[in-house]
Amino acid sequence: MNPTTPMTPAARAAAIPASTPSTVQRAVFSRDEFAREFAATSRAMWCIAAAVIGDRSRAEDVVQEAALAAWQKIEEFEPGTSFLAWMGKFVRYTALNEARRRKMRAAAPLDGVDAPASRLGVQEDDPRSVTSRGTVSAEQTGFDDHVVSALNDLDETARACLLLRTVHDMAYRDISLVLDVPEGTAMSHVHRARKLMRDQLAEHYEQTSGRRSA
């Protein structure tokens, strides 16, 4: 073709490689599709947030904040891949940031001195004074105090693996995707967490039985 001869629209289209990134339009979730997927996975998202920050009511807020952040980047989601794994990372990062903020607030002195809880607007026996330290309270979970104590002895990832497996009945493959850990690691976390909790609870009940029989 003569270089000076104008190319027809068909010729120009044929000259553009089909694999050129700029010419490939990615399918983007609609608001309804996002809402539907979010609703289907919200319980798992709550488990992740609760495992990280240990506060049921705040976990719900964290999930909502993560949903807003995810919606703003919805074009990064690839349809056909796991929405749970993609959305779960937003929840985990949001929860980790919240946990760090809580620790900073709990450790920060007021007017140069350590402030009692009452000066911060929290009663000494208020469950929030416990959950602000990133632990789980029995009142919030409905679990026995000693189950909660055993849960709090787990690290954040192990606690998340255990809750997702036992509360949400999630497959190990999905846990590995959501928490970005190998599937075998997720299985190990759940196995060790269950053993730790069994041992601690058995020790507690043995001590309780001993006191009753004494």
Q: What is the pTM of this model?
A: 0.61
The answer to whether position 10 is within a domain reads no
Please determine, for residue 186, whether its predicted confidence score (pLDDT) is greater than 70. Answer: yes
| Cβ contact 27:79 at 8 Å | yes
> Alpha-carbon distance 113 to 43, whole Å?
41
CATH number for the domain that contains residue 36 = 1.20.140.160
Q: What pLDDT band is residue 26 in, cutting at 50, 70 and 90?
A: low
The answer to whether position 191 is within a domain reads yes
Where b means 16+ CB within 10 Å and e means fewer, 41-62 reads bbebbbbbbbbbbbbbebbeeb
The answer to whether position 204 is within a domain reads yes
**pLDDT at residue 203, as a whole number:** 74
The answer to whether position 186 is within a domain reads yes
Q: What pLDDT band is residue 6 in, cutting at 50, 70 and 90?
A: low
Instruction: Please state the domain count of the chain.
Output: 1
The answer to whether position 80 is within a domain reads yes
Q: Which has more pLDDT, 26 or 193?
A: 193
pLDDT in tens, 108-157: 655 544 444 333 333 333 333 333 333 444 343 444 556 666 777 788 88
Q: How much of the chain is in helix, strand and coil states, percent to nearest 5?
A: 70, 0, 30
pLDDT in tens, 31-82: 899 999 999 999 889 989 988 887 777 899 999 999 999 999 999 998 888 8
The answer to whether position 200 is within a domain reads yes
Q: Quick one: what percent of the chain has pLDDT higher than 70?
A: 62
Please determine, for residue 13, whether its predicted confidence score (pLDDT) is greater than 50. Answer: no
| Close Cβ partners of 42 (under 8 Å, ≥ 6 residues apart) | 63
Identify the domain containing residue 132 by its residue range: 28-213
The answer to whether position 57 is within a domain reads yes
Please determine, for residue 98, whether its predicted confidence score (pLDDT) is greater than 50. Answer: yes
